[in-house]
Structures are given as structure tokens and as C-alpha cells.
Amino acid sequence: MGTRGPVPQRKEDLRGHRSKDELNKSVTRAPGADKVSVPKADPEWHPIAQRLWGALKKSGQARFYEPSDWALAYSLMEDLSRYKSGAKRSGQMLAAIMSGLSDLLVTEGDRRRVGIELSRPETGEPSESAGVVEMNEWRRRLQAG
């Protein structure tokens, strides 16, 4: 699991000097599995678990997953299905599921805590923020009368 505390800033947003610890971080490397096969989703899973499984398979962090990660993710989808389908829901069960998903680096905050940043391919077109698009639409309607 990553560090505790606030989510670190993205690398490009960091300013100033780095500490010696940050500069001298070493990584222990080992070869991964030769072939990683992703199990098929169980059709009996709750729809939310099926959707999360599909999203995990498409997510960028999935290229770092080993067979053991996929086995854990499968087990978590089973647990999530039971949790969502059950009449009585336990807060402790939800906390355990969320902790497991965090270990799999499901959210951006989880990934940033361990130093993984995913980026989308450049489309070549400048992107406009939602606010700019909304303002442009407002101006267009105002001018049209």
C-alpha cells in the first residue's frame, strides 16, 4: 500500500527542490509473470461488480497487474457482489472491499500515492474545460438573441 496522508501532487505540479530521500529512491526489480491471463467476469456478479471488472481490464494500471492481482480483484468482485446483493450491509465489509480496491490502485489518488501517473494519449486538439465550453455556449445564445 502507498503512503498515508494527503494525495501527493502530480509530478508536473511539484515545485522546488527534492529531498535527498526523494532523489535517492531505489526500486527493487524482479521479473514478472511470462503471461498474464485475465479471468472472465462471473455473469452472476452484481451489475456494479461487472462494470468495475470491465473498467479494471481497460484501465492503464492493469498493465502492471500480475496473476495474483487479478485473483485478488476477482475475489473482491465476488465480495462486492455479495455486499451489493445482500439485504444487510456491513460498514466493515465495505471498508475491507474499499481497502482491497485501494491496494489494486483503482483510483487516481491510490496511484499517485505510490508514484504512478496515467496519462491519456494526446489527440492533437486543444482541450477546453467545461467552464470555457459553457461560457462559449452562453455567448453564442446571447448573440443569437
Domain boundaries defined on the chain: 38-114
pLDDT of residue 125 exceeding 70: no
pLDDT value at position 113? 84
**pLDDT tens per residue, range 29-43:** 778 888 889 999 999
Give the H or E element holding residue 55. helix 47-58
DSSP string, 68-128: HHHHHHHHHHHHHHHHHH-SS--HHHHHHHHHHHHHTT-SHHHHHHTT----PPP-SSPP-
pLDDT interval class at 132 (50, 70, 90): low
The x, y and z cell numbers of residue 94, run together, are 465495505
DSSP string, 64-77: G--HHHHHHHHHHH
pLDDT value at position 131? 65
pLDDT value at position 29? 73
